[in-house]
Amino acid sequence: MQIDDGPWQQTRLAHDPSPDLWRQWTYRWDATPGRHTLCPRATDATGTAQTVPRVPPFPDGATGWHTVTVT
């Protein structure tokens, strides 16, 4: 998880029922007032990080960094 272009932070992953499913995650954050951009980034079992460009799921799986702005 990255907040406002800061350093990448570890998140807490939920139980992994299957290697073929997406996993939920959580991150505890003491937010300061104002507008913030949040960017999660997935990694695979080998530690390879998700790439920045968005790519459709077919044929090799979706990728790309998604961001959301919160206030």
Reported as a single tens digit per residue, the pLDDT across 2-36 is 999 999 999 998 887 787 777 888 999 999 999 99
Rounded distance between C-alpha atoms, residue 58 and residue 26, angstroms: 28
Which tens digits make up the pLDDT trace of 46-63?
888 888 888 877 777 778
Q: Give me the residue spans of the domains in the chain.
A: 1-71
Give buried/exposed letters for 6-16 (b at 16+ CB in 10 A, else e): eeeeebeeeee
